[in-house]
Amino acid sequence: MFTSRMFTRSIFVLTWSVLLAACTGTPPDNLGVVNSKLAACPESPNCVSSDSLDESHYVPAFKLEASAELAWSEIKSYLHAQHNMEIMIETTDYIYVESTSTLMRFVDDFELHLRLKDGIIAVRSASRLGKSDFGVNKQRVDDLYKTLNDKGLVSEAPKPI
């Protein structure tokens, strides 16, 4: 009886571990900046980007209202303070973050691109898996924007024409 219970528990733990690991997906191969732009969003509604021409995926870029160094430093501090976000790539003008949901361990890709000549920070947040994200990616961008805006570091950049 003891062995049977141990076996059942082991199978349960193993099954959930495999299922949760499957939720992470693999990082997309289109991350980063190409021709001064972040990757386009897929057709699915689980992505937002300030570079999107499609209204359903568009979010405003962050217009710099303070020095780029100060805003960039504050962004890094904010990201480090988030329990579910890990900076994977960081350069002088680009940050790539993996954000993992607490319960199901879904991983989203969050990118920020500092464009000094335009005076903005472009943003993109996208789910790796699934179709809908229940607004999580937009909320992630909005939360960072609100934090920076409350400190007077950014405002909403006008939509490019």
**pLDDT bracket for residue 21 (50, 70, 90):** very low
Average pLDDT over residues 68-89: 97
Predicted local distance difference test score (pLDDT) of residue 119: 98
Predicted local distance difference test score (pLDDT) of residue 27: 78
**pLDDT bracket for residue 17 (50, 70, 90):** very low
- For the chain, state the CA radius of gyration: 18
**Residue range 94-147, pLDDT digits in tens:** 999 999 987 667 899 999 999 999 999 999 999 997 677 788 999 999 999 999
Average pLDDT, the chain: 87
143 vs 4 pLDDT, higher one: 143
Asked if residue 41 lies in contact with residue 49, where contact means CB atoms within 8 angstroms, the answer is: yes
